Amino acid sequence: MKPVVLNSPDQNKERKRTDKTNNFEEFILDDSFKVLGSNKYYYLYTYGCQGNESDSEKIRGLMEGMSFSITYDLDKTDIIIMNTCAIRKNAEDKVFGELGRLKQLKRKKPDLIVGLCGCMAQEESVVRRLLTKYQNVDFIFGTHNIHSLPSLIKRVMENKERVVDVLSYEGDIVEKIPMVRESNIKAWVPIMYGCDEFCTYCIVPYTRGKERSRLKENIIKEVEDLISQGYQEITLLGQNVNAYGKDFVDHKYDFADLLSDLSELPIPRIRFTTNNPKDFDDRQIEVIKNSKNIMPAIHLPVQSGSNKILKKMNRKYTKESFIELCDKLYKAIPDVSITTDIIVAFPYETEEDFCETLELVKRCNFEGAYTFIFSKREGTPAANYVDENITEEIAYDRLYRLNDLVNEGYARGNNRFLNKIVKVLIEGYSKSNENILMGYTENNKLVNVLGDKKYIGKIVDVKIKDAKTWSLDGEIID
């Protein structure tokens, strides 16, 4: 079937930044959509970062606003939506693998509708591949027009069309898209969208567009609503939360201001991610230090410990300034846990550069890290960097050596709580054992405890009895 292409992605346009000011719009679900999904089911795949998890909560809100019910059974579903991630090749391979398997399901159930959205939808090459090789994908939409989902589904259902609607420029900030949240204890709260950093390896500035901050009023209102619903924890989301508000042209209000205002609200726990070292300033540290409800766990991606590589990555800070920032955080927030992200085998990374990364990991006392082998992303500057010295073998060798060191950090970070009493927000039952409750400490350490379900959703005192590399075991103290 020939697809109806309303808009398709164009990486050259995605790369552009205009000085257009943000427009804010309020979403209203038209009555004509509200019964479209009566007696029908949807199945939702979510890959990628917390930003995508948060988008999936909007997708759920829209689907349920149209009367579709969620199912976790592929045989029962009428619609499948795949919310995808493009950050590394293996993230995309997973999606193509799953789409391959879904071809069989579609043969069995010809009326099944499959939609794909998220960051992969923003890539020209992916959309081309989907249109030619994956006839089982019925509609594609992008990260800027999640709110188009109802009208796209209507077209596919009623006109039996194949539709592509992917915008290459950031649209308005759309408020009030309904949400069905995954948890009734912890909530994601996006404070900004997009990214203007253009780290040379990264696809996000293309797939998510220009950096746009939500207005303070809308964020505070959302958090107040969450508090009234009994939520215990919020995590503020953005690709560089420290740059929040820098795009406001008619008023001044930045991340330190936002943190300060939110910390006055009666929400027990505030977290935020991800931080960019370059924009983490002293005022932000001061606010964190002086607040009681901003948690002492900071995720601070460094990417590399070599100034040469940091420069090639366009990270805009140095090893020295990163160390200084960590020292300031340790001094201001004595109990803080710092975690990071690191890429190994970036083009031109020599053994010496890599050893500088190892040294930095030791120096900064990280209590955890997400570690990755560099993955080429088409259209990014680093995709054109060629370094034949780095073989797959070298890349894996560096990754494993780094992981050994990082794991020592995880263990050290957990060990320091042995025999201490810590506050744990109990979230539910442990995945591996249905009789054990699990939750996280203020420092974001996973804790397992024996206990009654009455504790779920509560913050309790726990005495830590055993520290393992990945988790702590403890006992609730009533």
- The footprint of ligand F3S (CB under 6 A) covers 48-49, 51-52, 85-87, 118-119, 203-204, 207-208
94 lies in the binding site for ligand SAH (CB under 6 A): no
Q: How far apart are CA 245 and CA 236, in angstroms?
A: 13
Size of the site for ligand SAH (CB under 6 A): 16
Nearer to ligand F3S, 37 or 368 (CB): 368
How far apart, in Å, are the Cα atoms of 405 and each of 299, 310, 320, 348? 17, 20, 20, 22
Q: Where are the beta strands (DSSP E) in 336-386?
A: 337-344, 369-373
Q: b or e along 239-267 (b: 16 or more beta carbons within 10 Å of the residue's beta carbon)?
A: bbbbbbbebeeeeeebbbbbbbebbeeeb
The site partner of 207 among ligand F3S, ligand SAH, ligand SF4, none (C-beta below 5 to 8 Å per kind) is ligand F3S
Nearer to ligand F3S, 144 or 155 (CB): 144
Q: What angle do CA 327, 204, 364 make, to 5 degrees?
A: 15
Q: How far is the CB of 147 from ligand SAH (least distance, A)?
A: 24
Residue 341: which of ligand SF4, ligand SAH, ligand F3S, none does it interact with, CB under 5 to 8 A by kind?
Answer: ligand SAH
C-beta separation of 188 from 235 below 8 A: yes
52 binds, among ligand SF4, ligand F3S, ligand SAH, none (CB under 5 to 8 A by kind): ligand F3S
Instruction: Give 3-state DSSP helix, strand, coil % of the chain, rounded to 5.
Output: 35, 25, 40
Choice between 96 and 198, CB closer to ligand SF4: 198
Q: Left if phi > 0, otherwise alpha if psi is -120 to 50, otherwise beta: which for 155?
A: alpha
DSSP 304-330: -S-HHHHHHTT----HHHHHHHHHHHH
**Residue 303 sits in the site that holds ligand SAH (CB under 6 A):** yes
Residue with tokens 């998220």: 118
Give the interface with ligand SF4 as residue ranges (CB under 6 A): 195, 197-199, 202, 204-205, 239-240, 276
Gap between the Cα atoms of 284 and 289, Å rounded? 9
Least Å distance, CB 427 to ligand F3S, is 23
Q: Which does 115 bind (CB under 5 to 8 A by kind): ligand SAH, ligand SF4, ligand F3S, none?
A: none
Helices (H), 281-419: 282-290, 307-312, 319-332, 351-364, 392-415
Residue 51 interface partner, choices ligand SF4, ligand F3S, ligand SAH, none, CB cut-off 5-8 Å depending on type: ligand F3S
119 binds, among ligand SF4, ligand SAH, ligand F3S, none (CB under 5 to 8 A by kind): ligand F3S
Say whether residue 377 binds ligand SAH (CB under 6 A). Answer: yes
State which residue, 77 or 303, has the beta carbon closest to ligand SAH: 303
**Residue 343 sits in the site that holds ligand SAH (CB under 6 A):** yes
How many degrees, rounded to 5, is the angle at CA 215 between CA 212 and CA 220?
130
306 sits near ligand SAH (criterion: CB under 6 A): no
- Counting contacts by CB under 6 A, is residue 455 touching ligand SAH? no
| Alpha carbons 404 and 256: distance in angstroms, whole number | 36
How far is residue 423's CA from residue 443's CA, in Å, rounded to a whole number? 9
Residue 88: contacted member of ligand SAH, ligand SF4, ligand F3S, none (CB under 5 to 8 Å, by partner type): ligand SAH
- Looking at residues 176 to 235 of the shown chain, list those that interact with ligand SAH (rule: CB under 6 A): 201-202
